[in-house]
Amino acid sequence: MTSLDELLSIARDAAEIGARMMTSEAPGTVSAKGDRDYVTELDVRIQHAIRDYLQRAAPGIDFLGEEDGGGTLDDTTDYVWVLDPIDGTSNFAHGIPLCATSLALVHRGQPLIGVITAPFLDLRYYAVHGGGAYCNDKPIQCSSTTDLRRAIVSIGDYATGEGAAEKNERRFAVTRALAENVERVRMFGAASLDLAWVAEGRTDACVILSNKPWDMAAGVLINREANGNVSDLHGVEYTFRGKETVSACGSLFEPIRATLTV
């Protein structure tokens, strides 16, 4: 087995493939995967390019991608790369620079390596289990904010597709609870950046009411390595089986969670 440091280097190189393609190629045809859920031709091309590179650079490791599946992910799965080629596809397709390639190496349900590259913002986040979290090669830490009313909190996208109306009732309630208690609420449209920005201290917390592994895996590890808390709304440590995710700097975690019992 290649060392984690070597695999981190491979993962960072792989994410750079996505960054180069995002900044140099057009989105191409935009197709609907479902109700208001879209994929561009470039999403698929990036996934294929990164998958091919990983298979050459680290043969024998399974692969799970958003756009055409691949492997599986559960508590018994050995090593698997988990990729979102363009997290924030709607942003990307509309020329909004809040988008990123998110890549993680996961072992038996736990991320060991996480890389998030947001090329239009020139931000490159990475972490390896037990090794701290970094942005552009500088260590990062969650914020030291202690006052909920001084907290900037981001929330995940509203739901689309089947059952969206019912799911959004929950999202509206969470938005309302936050709006009444925190300094500002933000919606960035890319879960990987929600988590990375809590890790970096740009924001103080995030609430994501969905849980796709390709959106979350890299950001969860980067967040943990920056001393963030990542759990569900009941305070249970984050897993890929959960449906709701809360991340916050240490002193705000319980106040945020209490606010969201709506």
Which tens digit of pLDDT belongs to each residue from 168-206? 898 999 999 999 999 999 999 999 999 999 999 999 999
- Among 30-39, 58-67, 107-116, name the most confident range: 107-116
Cβ 57 vs Cβ 77: under 8 Å: no
Nearest in space to 206 (alpha carbons), one of 255, 141, 156, 244: 156
Taking only the tens place, the pLDDT of each residue in 73-82 is 767 678 999 9
220 versus 28: the higher-pLDDT residue is: 220
Mean pLDDT across the chain? 90
What is the structure's pLDDT at 233?
80
Percent over 70 (pLDDT), the chain = 93
Residue 237 to residues 60, 150, 171, 196, Cα–Cα distance (Å): 29, 25, 21, 18
What does the chain come to in residues? 262
Residue 54 above 60 pLDDT?
Answer: yes
Cβ 59 vs Cβ 138: under 8 Å: no
The beta-carbon contacts of 61-64 under 8 Å, at least 24 apart in sequence, are 61/105, 64/213, 64/214
